[in-house]
C-alpha cells in the first residue's frame, strides 16, 4: 500500500520517485501477477486458485500525487489499483486531496474506489453511533457522487477492533484492510486483512523484493532487517533460516535490540505473567494481548523485566 508519490515533505507516507520507479520495474516482471484486490479477494472467498506471487496494489487517502504522478504510470503498465477514499476530504479546491470530478475520472479509467470512513478519525476511539455515522455518511456520499457504494473498506490508520468489525459486517463490505504487515491467504481474517506499507524509510528495493515474493534466500543481507517492521523481520528470519517464530523473536530481541518484541510463545514470559498478575498458567490469550497493548512500544523491556521477576538467581553484570 502507498499514500503519496514524490512528496518528500512527508517521508512517513511518501515514496520517492526513484523508489516508485524501481517498484514499477519489479511489478512488471513476468514472475509476478498483479491483480485487482477485488479479484484476489473474490477468488479467496470462493476457494479459487491464485497464481504464485499474486500482488494487489492499494493507495490510501486520495492524495493529489496519485492522480498526477502514480496513476499515469500504473495505467501505462496495466497495473490495477484500488484507491481508498475518506469522503470528508473530497471537496473542491482542497490543497492536498482530489475532488469528485477527479475521482470519477479515475474510476472511469479503471481505478477501483474503496471506502476509508468519512472523517479519517481513529475509529477505535468512537462510540457505536459515531462509527455507524462514519460508515453511513460515507456510503451516502459515494452513492450520490459515484452512483455506487464501495465493497472494499480500509480502516483509517489500520486500526480496528471486534466492535467495529461487527458493525461493518452489517453493510455490504466484502472485506476490510488494516495496515499491519503480512501476506493474505485463505486463513486470513477477511475483516482485518494485512498490507505492507511502502514509504521512504521502508521503500528499499531489497525489502520490497522480499515482501512481494516472500522468498528470503536470494539476498541474505542482515542490513535489510533494519528496514523491516518487527512482523516482517520475524517472517523474513523464519523463511531465511527455517526457524520458528519464537527463535526469530529471540534474534530480534537479543541481536537486533528491537524494543517492541512480545514473544507470546515463550514459556518464561508466560510463567512470569501468570505469577505477576495472579493468572492461571497458561495465562489467557486475551490477557496477554491486553498486556501487549499496555507495554507497546516497549514490549521487549517488559519482557526483560518479566523474565527477571521469575529468575531468582542473582545475575552478575
Ligand atoms: Zn488513510
Q: How many Cα atoms sit within 13 Å of 9 on the Cβ side? A: 3
Residue that is last in its domain, among 192, 213, 234: 213
Digit-coded pLDDT (tens) for 200-254: 877 777 788 878 777 665 456 777 788 888 988 888 888 777 778 888 899 899 8
CATH value at residue 243: 1.10.1670
Q: Looking at the structure, tell me whether residues 192 and 264 fall in a common domain.
A: no
CB atoms within 10 A of CB 91: 11
E strands of the chain, at which residues? Answer: 4-5, 14-15, 33-34, 54-55, 57-60, 81-85, 112-115, 152-154, 175-177
Q: Looking at the structure, tell me whether residues 225 and 104 fall in a common domain.
A: no
**Alpha carbon of 120 to ligand 1 centroid (Å):** 6
Average pLDDT of the segment spanning 97-107? 97
**Alpha carbon of 27 to ligand 1 centroid (Å):** 23
**Alpha carbon of 178 to ligand 1 centroid (Å):** 10
| Per-residue confidence (pLDDT) for residue 219, from 0 to 100 | 55
**Alpha carbon of 59 to ligand 1 centroid (Å):** 9
**Alpha carbon of 61 to ligand 1 centroid (Å):** 5
State the DSSP string of 158-169: G---HHHHHHHT
Residue 50 lies in a domain: yes
Q: Looking at the structure, tell me whether residues 206 and 259 fall in a common domain.
A: no
Q: Looking at the structure, tell me whether residues 124 and 136 fall in a common domain.
A: yes
Residue 59 lies in a domain: yes
Residue that is last in its domain, among 189, 213, 237: 213
Question: Could you tell me the pLDDT band of residue 256, with boundaries at 50, 70 and 90?
Answer: confident
Domain range for 256 is 217-309
Total domains in the fold of the chain: 2
Q: Does residue 167 have a pLDDT over 50?
A: yes
DSSP-based three-state secondary structure for 97: strand
Residue 314 lies in a domain: no
Which residue, among 246, 251, 248, 247, has the nearest Cα to 236 in the 3D structure? 248
Digit-coded pLDDT (tens) for 30-49: 889 999 999 999 999 999 99
Q: Does residue 88 have a pLDDT over 50?
A: yes
Question: Could you tell me the pLDDT band of residue 315, with boundaries at 50, 70 and 90?
Answer: low
CATH value at residue 193: 3.20.20.370
| Per-residue confidence (pLDDT) for residue 204, from 0 to 100 | 79
Q: Looking at the structure, tell me whether residues 68 and 175 fall in a common domain.
A: yes
Q: Looking at the structure, tell me whether residues 47 and 102 fall in a common domain.
A: yes
**Cell numbers for 297:** 512500544
Residue 317 lies in a domain: no
Question: Could you tell me the pLDDT band of residue 141, with boundaries at 50, 70 and 90?
Answer: very high
CB atoms within 10 A of CB 26: 16
**Alpha carbon of 116 to ligand 1 centroid (Å):** 7
Burial of 299 (0-12, 13-18, 19+ CB in 10 A): buried
Q: Looking at the structure, tell me whether residues 191 and 92 fall in a common domain.
A: yes
Greater model confidence, 313 or 68: 68
Q: Does residue 162 have a pLDDT over 60?
A: yes
Q: Give the predicted TM-score (pTM) of the model.
A: 0.76
Q: Looking at the structure, tell me whether residues 30 and 171 fall in a common domain.
A: yes
Torsion over CA: 289, 232, 202, 87 (sign)? negative
Residue 22 lies in a domain: yes
**Cell numbers for 25:** 520495474
Digit-coded pLDDT (tens) for 272-288: 999 999 999 999 999 99
Q: Looking at the structure, tell me whether residues 36 and 152 fall in a common domain.
A: yes
| Per-residue confidence (pLDDT) for residue 218, from 0 to 100 | 45
DSSP-based three-state secondary structure for 126: coil
Q: Looking at the structure, tell me whether residues 207 and 225 fall in a common domain.
A: no
Q: Looking at the structure, tell me whether residues 99 and 185 fall in a common domain.
A: yes
Question: Could you tell me the pLDDT band of residue 317, with boundaries at 50, 70 and 90?
Answer: low
**Alpha carbon of 210 to ligand 1 centroid (Å):** 25
Amino acid at each position: 500500500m502507498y499514500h503519496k508519490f514524490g512528496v518528500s515533505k512527508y517521508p512517513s507516507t511518501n515514496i520517492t520517485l526513484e523508489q516508485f520507479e524501481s517498484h514499477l520495474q519489479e511489478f512488471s516482471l513476468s514472475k509476478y501477477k498483479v491483480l485487482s484486490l477485488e479479484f484476489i479477494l473474490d477468488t479467496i472467498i470462493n476457494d479459487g486458485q491464485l497464481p504464485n506471487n499474486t500482488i494487489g496494489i492499494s493507495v490510501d487517502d486520495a492524495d493529489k500525487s496519485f492522480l498526477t504522478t502514480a496513476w499515469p504510470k500504473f495505467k501505462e503498465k496495466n497495473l490495477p489499483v484500488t484507491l481508498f477514499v475518506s469522503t470528508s476530504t473530497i471537496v473542491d479546491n482542497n490543497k492536498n486531496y482530489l475532488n469528485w470530478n477527479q475521482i470519477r475520472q479515475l474510476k472511469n479509467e479503471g481505478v477501483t474506489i474503496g471506502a476509508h470512513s468519512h472523517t479519517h478519525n481513529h475509529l477505535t476511539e468512537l462510540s457505536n453511533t459515531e462509527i455507524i455515522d462514519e460508515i453511513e455518511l460515507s456510503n451516502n456520499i459515494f452513492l450520490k457522487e459515484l452512483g455506487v457504494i464501495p465493497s472494499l473498506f480500509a480502516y483509517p490508520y489500520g486500526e480496528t477492533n471486534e466492535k467495529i468489525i461487527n458493525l461493518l459486517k452489517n453493510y455490504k463490505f466484502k472485506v476490510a484492510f488494516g495496515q499491519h504487515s503480512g501476506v493474505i491467504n485463505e486463513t486470513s481474517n477477511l475483516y482485518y486483512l494485512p498490507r505492507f506499507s511502502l514509504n521512504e524509510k521502508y521503500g528499499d528495493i531489497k525489502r520490497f523484493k522480499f515482501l512481494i515474493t516472500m522468498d528470503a534466500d536470494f539476498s541474505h543481507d542482515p542490513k535489510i532487517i533494519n528496514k523491516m517492521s518487527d512482523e516482517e523481520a520475524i517472517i523474513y528470519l523464519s523463511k531465511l533460516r527455517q526457524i520458528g517464530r519464537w527463535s526469530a523473536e529471540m534474534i530480534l530481541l537479543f541481536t537486533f535490540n528491537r524494543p517492541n518484541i512480545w514473544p507470546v510463545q515463550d514459556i518464561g514470559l508466560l510463567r512470569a505473567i501468570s505469577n505477576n498478575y495472579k493468572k492461571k498458567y497458561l495465562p489467557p490469550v486475551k490477557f496477554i494481548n491486553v498486556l501487549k497493548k499496555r507495554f507497546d512500544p516497549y514490549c521487549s523491556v517488559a519482557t526483560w523485566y518479566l523474565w527477571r521477576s521469575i529468575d531468582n538467581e542473582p545475575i552478575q553484570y
